[in-house]
Amino acid sequence: MSDAIRIQGLSKTYAAQGPAPAKEALKGIDLDIPAGSIFGLLGPNGAGKSTMINILAGLVNKTAGRVTIWGFDQDVNPRQSRAAIGVMPQELNMDPFFTPRASLEVQAGLYGVPKAERWTDELLALVGLTDQANAYARSLSGGMKRRLLLAKALVHRPHILVLDEPTAGVDITLREMLWKNVRRLNEQGMTIILTTHYLEEAEQMCDEIAIINHGQVVVRQDTQTLLSRTDGKTMVLDTGGPVTLPPLPPGARSEIRPDGRLAISYPPSRLRADQILDVLRGAGVPILDVATEQADLEDVFVELTRD
Ligand code: ADP
Ligand code: MG
């Protein structure tokens, strides 16, 4: 299996409802997601990420296009394609009367996992809910509910795990627990697809990234190539105190950081660091220390989703 998921010409228009007009949420998406990767799906609010994920999960009907999951066309082999994927949704939707253990058993039943093949206890341990196994779901904290949703996505041991904004609004401990689990599952061979608002997180976690905006893929690249796309570097200088700056070479911009250091951004394709340093030295600016910073995903994202 080389592609875990193939999406061809995927479109979705939500029908008009009362005063709300019809909404074209996806406009012909083509996207292949390689097996074994941690794939990031990024985009501003309303870009269509959840719509796409919910179509993959079989929760939303597409308007047009073709979706192949683990080699199974969703329309031709709906059962097999559903069995290959587990989705942790963005919304905290769960039955308040089920205990975590019961939720997992019910979910396993829905997926037709035979009793002997269930791994309820391991899953509870994996997400750190062993102590709450028999507590009512409504008594669980928000973080615990999220962990239960992760476990639910895994009951049928899917090849592909999809996480829709798994760390939005969760505390740092839960975030770390999630990423540790995600990395471990990926090392065991599971393909991971995630959406996140935290670009730094995507930068650290994802092998490849697609950015979608207004229902279209604007870029899809491996993370390193994507990061090298913007022509921006920043030189951060410790000048030992306030200084008067000489005019900088064209393309360079200066700013004083809150910590008092002088940050100069410049396009490395047109300007070299030593050209800037020469100008500063020539004007007698003391330079006690120099560091450089590469453009990060945030810069790339802003550039590509600018309207
Ligand atoms: P994202 O997850 O990237 O924030 P969504 O897929 O949730 O984006 O939404 C994409 C667009 O589709 C938005 O304009 C949103 O308002 C609209 N939308 C999402 N779900 C529905 C729905 N059930 N009915 C009507 N419009 C919807
Ligand atoms: Mg969403």
CATH number of domain containing 179: 3.40.50.300
Domain end point (choices 176, 194, 227): 227
**How far does the centroid of ligand 1 lie from the alpha carbon of residue 166, in Å?**
17
Lay out the sheet containing 23-34: strands in order across: 23-34, 3-14, 64-69, 72-73
CA separation for the pair 142, 128 (Å, rounded): 14
Q: Answer yes or no: do 27 and 134 share one domain.
A: yes
**Residue of minimum CA distance from atom 14 in ligand 1:** 46
Which residue type, as a one-letter code, is found at position 286?
A: P
Q: Answer yes or no: do 240 and 117 share one domain.
A: no
**How far does the centroid of ligand 1 lie from the alpha carbon of residue 16, in Å?**
13
Tokens for 203, please give them. 């930068």
Domain end point (choices 170, 204, 227): 227
Confirm if 170 and 139 have CB atoms less than 8 A apart: no
pLDDT of residue 180: 92
**pLDDT 10s digits, 250-270:** 999 999 999 999 999 998 888
pLDDT of residue 141: 86
Domain end point (choices 206, 227, 248): 227
**Residue of minimum CA distance from atom 13 in ligand 1:** 46
Nearest ligand 1 atom, CA 23: 26
Q: Answer yes or no: do 289 and 182 share one domain.
A: no
**How far does the centroid of ligand 2 lie from the alpha carbon of residue 18, in Å?**
23
Domains of the chain: total: 2
Q: Answer yes or no: do 200 and 171 share one domain.
A: yes
pLDDT of residue 199: 81
pLDDT of residue 281: 94
**pLDDT 10s digits, 72-96:** 999 999 999 999 999 998 877 777 7
Lay out the sheet containing 233-238: strands in order across: 253-256, 262-266, 233-238, 289-294
CA separation for the pair 270, 298 (Å, rounded): 22
**Residue of minimum CA distance from atom 27 in ligand 1:** 14
Q: Answer yes or no: do 182 and 239 share one domain.
A: no
pLDDT of residue 291: 92
pLDDT of residue 134: 94
Tokens for 285, please give them. 């600016």
How many distinct helices (H) and strands (E) make up the chain? 10, 14
pLDDT of residue 227: 78
CA separation for the pair 189, 187 (Å, rounded): 5
Query: Which range marks the domain in which residue 240 is found?
Result: 233-305
Q: Answer yes or no: do 223 and 237 share one domain.
A: no
Ligand 1 binding pocket (C-beta < 6 A) is: 14, 23, 25, 43, 45-51
Q: Give me the residues of the chain with pLDDT under 70, please.
A: 1, 307
CA separation for the pair 211, 39 (Å, rounded): 11
**Residue of minimum CA distance from atom 15 in ligand 1:** 46
**How far does the centroid of ligand 1 lie from the alpha carbon of residue 21, in Å?**
12
Nearest ligand 1 atom, CA 12: 12
pLDDT of residue 274: 92
3-state secondary structure of 31: strand
Element (H, E) at 221: strand 216-222
pLDDT of residue 29: 97
Element (H, E) at 56: helix 49-56
